Structure 1
Amino acid sequence: MSSSSTPPSSASSSAPRGDESAPLSLCAREPQVPAERLVAEMVPPPRFDQVRFSTYIPDPNQPSQAEAVTVLEGFATGLGGASATGAGKRRWFARKPAATPAGPRGVYLDGGYGVGKTHLLASLWHATPAAPEHKAFGTFVELTNLVGALGFQETVRTLSGHRLLCIDEFELDDPGDTVLVSSLLAKLVEAGVALAATSNTLPGKLGEGRFAAADFLREIQGLSAHFRPLRIDGEDYRHRGLPAAPEPYSEEQVTRAAYATPGASLDGFGQLLDHLSRVHPSRYGALTDDLRAVCLTGVRPVPDQSTALRLVVLADRLYDREVPVLTSGVPFDRLFSEEMLNGGYRKKYFRAISRLTALARDGKGLVGPGAA
């Protein structure tokens, strides 16, 4: 993997002179990620390293939150039976694990935005008494990317030795991917793997901003008997009056910040979008390895849906890794067209805007005081 490069030509005229070393470049990186790493990295992202059931603070006005913690703690305890066979080994003659006290071999966390579903899902992963290599955590997109990288049968073989598979943001806006993952989960259930999931809203189901449990169970085709829905009521804990995202900075400010920040990358936005089209989304995490910040010049609306969806994946990986972002050009709320924001993938685009906005707030500190 290349670790550094001359910054993009669009920013070179603003490059500082002197002792500052050139920043890194995402466009110079072409990571080759072995299959073992893809599976080994299926753990809760860094921002959820330390979450536990004990750090989830239920809203006293929402009894379903405390109830969900109790049920999930019991579910995790029920997964502490005889150890699973080694990851990747076939289990044709292995005794299937007994059902947990909750009954089904899966739980589905059903709730609106910001009620702590991912916190609880990661807490379940941490609480399950199994070695890290025998439990997996990833988003729906990461799971489909894994199948794309390994193939269906190899993914089944690799995950069949796991005790638990947690799937965050189960997406149902692509029928083909829904069928693919439903088929994968059916194979894993046969192998004795326990499941836990949260999900996103289907297109058109705007209401509470959630995807109702009954609809989720219908969409996963034949797996509904394996899931116990846990409703988690409450308001979005992120609605705390946070300041608006800072306006984009000038190209010179972004470039100077990239040069002044060890471990920062500096790329032209257009060049980065072109580069993402040549890198498989399963490698976007590796693309951001060891980055302290991402600096982009010339941010503009994305030209088409394929490009937009790749950007969504990169935004997720940067958010998971808490990498600050500093940009020049248009603000993040103008990245996606009105047609995109009203279409079938609207949830993904709004999530990307929200996450990039949060990272932009984090990136504000990279620019010297008084430089707004």
Structure 2
Amino acid sequence: MSSSTASPADASGSVNGPIGESAAAPVALTSRAPHVPADRLVAEMVPPPRFDSVRFDTYIPDPNQPSQAEAVTVLAGFAAGLGGGTDQGGGRKRWFRREAKPAAPSGPRGVYLDGGYGVGKTHLLASLWHAAPAEPAQKAFGTFVELTNLVGALGFQQTVQTLSGHKLLCIDEFELDDPGDTVLVSSLLRKLVEAGVALAATSNTLPGKLGEGRFAAADFLREIQGLSAHFRPLRIDGEDYRHRGLPQAPDPYDDETVKRVAYAAEGASLDDFPSLLAHLSKVHPSRYGAMCDSIRAVCLTGVEPVPDQSTALRLVVLADRLYDREVPVLASGRPFDELFSEEMLQGGYRKKYFRAISRLTALARDAGPLVERCDG
């Protein structure tokens, strides 16, 4: 829900509207500062639009990486072992009512997907959510950041009470670089395991660490203090599918092209990049998804390296929300692989920055047809 009038478009993020001079003028993301109630944060804990239709049988394992096919088999078995059943009161759990839970079974109650960027971990995690034999209100899916935002909105105890009524919690992109948040989520997960909730999580191995064994898995199991016995680490090897066999990221366009497409493409936004970065500091990251409601293409002029770490981390969250919604990004200025300084790429948040570069590069490729349709 935005505080500004949205352009006419659906909320799917797909680009299938007409392009022509009659399209509405683009909106500016900088004009949007939406309020997101806590119940929406809970209700939206489902796989994002990009992963609505994924299933285990739509995952295409790389034949050169046997760990990928193995992961499908293990996760399908894990989903089947969760069991079914519905709530006595009409088949759906209420969000804010604590439900009686059976005692947690012994043995691993969770899986952790350990692998590099773009090997399909989120695809597999979302497939697990879809395959779990439970009502949608009995399972939750969200990124690590969204989970910490939920705790911030509801408070720790209310979050425990709300999620304890679930059969499965899937956490994408578990962050290992924020000790405070990691300890917070570790405490939350411990409470949920005690309530019988099954867990699944993903994180990223740095490109430079591939081939060095269970780097990310070891970090994960150490950081979620005391929970390691509940997780089975599952290694997934491979290269980034977003760039596998594809050309390099397209060069940035000129300002005139970006503006022309923004005015021609229905549901497009148009912003000056430095102004957008400044605006992100005024909107809580939990609201970035709502800020993108109805946006079907993001057009940016004057892309330049981000000036500091706080700004960079906010941009990472926006990139994740745009990628989740499959929103193409058309930009002028510097290419996306020059957004973050070498110091940032070598620092503690490097995993997030590499992920953002990968995802923004994929969205930049997706914007190519917009230019072709406009020029045609």
User: TM-score, structure 2 length as denominator?
Assistant: 0.87
Matches within 5 A, 1:285-324: 285-324=289-328
- Alignment match, 2:45: 42
Measured after TM superposition, the shift of residue 218 of structure 1 is 1.7
Q: Pick closer, same or farther for the CA change 1:259–1:98 going to 2, 3 Å.
A: same
Aligned residue for 2:283, secondary structure, equals coil
Measured after TM superposition, the shift of residue 193 of structure 1 is 0.9
> Which residue among 234, 238, 259 is the counterpart of 2:263?
259
Distance 1:238 1:256 in 2: 27
Q: Pick closer, same or farther for the CA change 1:245–1:160 going to 2, 3 Å.
A: same
Query: Structure 2 regions of 5+ residues with no counterpart?
Result: 8-20, 88-92
Distance 2:122 2:22 in 1: 44
Q: Deviations over 1:109-129 (max 9, x none)?
A: 223333322221111100001
Counterpart code for 2:288: Y
Counterpart code for 1:193: V
Counterpart code for 1:125: W
Q: Pick closer, same or farther for the CA change 1:124–1:4 going to 2, 3 Å.
A: closer
- Alignment match, 2:194: 190
Aligned residue for 2:259, secondary structure, equals helix
**8 Å contact kept, 1:115–1:236:** yes
CA RMSD of aligned residues (A): 2.4
Distance 1:214 1:33 in 2: 36
Q: Pick closer, same or farther for the CA change 1:297–1:214 going to 2, 3 Å.
A: closer
Moved more, 256-265 or 356-365: 356-365
Alignment of 1:337 onto 2:337: no
Alignment of 1:220 onto 2:224: yes
Q: Deviations over 1:33-88 (max 9, x none)?
A: 11111111111122211111122233445443333222222211221144466433
- Alignment match, 1:349: 353
Alignment of 1:64 onto 2:71: no
- Alignment match, 1:245: 249
Counterpart code for 2:4: S
Aligned residue for 1:242, secondary structure, equals coil
Counterpart code for 1:38: L
Distance 1:326 1:208 in 2: 35
Distance 2:338 2:231 in 1: 39
**8 Å contact kept, 1:112–1:208:** no
User: TM-score, structure 1 length as denominator?
Assistant: 0.88
Measured after TM superposition, the shift of residue 98 of structure 1 is 4.0
Aligned residue for 2:151, secondary structure, equals helix
Counterpart code for 1:57: I
| Structure with the larger RCO, 1 or 2 (CA within 8 Å, 6+ apart) | 2
> Which residue among 85, 94, 102 is the counterpart of 1:95?
102
Measured after TM superposition, the shift of residue 205 of structure 1 is 7.3
**8 Å contact kept, 2:114–2:205:** no
> Which residue among 104, 108, 117 is the counterpart of 1:113?
117
Alignment of 1:281 onto 2:285: yes
**8 Å contact kept, 1:170–1:199:** yes
**8 Å contact kept, 1:165–1:196:** yes
> Which residue among 1, 5, 10 is the counterpart of 1:3?
5
> Which residue among 71, 78, 81 is the counterpart of 2:81?
78
> Which residue among 12, 17, 26 is the counterpart of 1:23?
26
Aligned residue for 2:327, secondary structure, equals coil
Counterpart code for 1:285: G
Counterpart code for 1:308: A
Q: Pick closer, same or farther for the CA change 1:229–1:4 going to 2, 3 Å.
A: closer
Q: How many residue pairs align between the two structures?
A: 355
Q: Pick closer, same or farther for the CA change 1:267–1:115 going to 2, 3 Å.
A: closer
Matches within 5 A, 1:205-216: 206-208=209-211, 211-216=215-220
Counterpart code for 1:40: A
Aligned residue for 1:107, secondary structure, equals strand
Distance 2:367 2:208 in 1: 34
Aligned residue for 1:96, secondary structure, equals coil
Measured after TM superposition, the shift of residue 158 of structure 1 is 1.6
Moved more, 62-71 or 116-125: 62-71
- Alignment match, 1:358: 362
> Which residue among 129, 136, 152 is the counterpart of 2:133?
129
Measured after TM superposition, the shift of residue 369 of structure 1 is 6.9
**8 Å contact kept, 2:23–2:266:** no
Q: Deviations over 1:166-206 (max 9, x none)?
A: 0111110111111011011011111111100112348x973
Calculate percent identity across the aligned residue pairs: 78
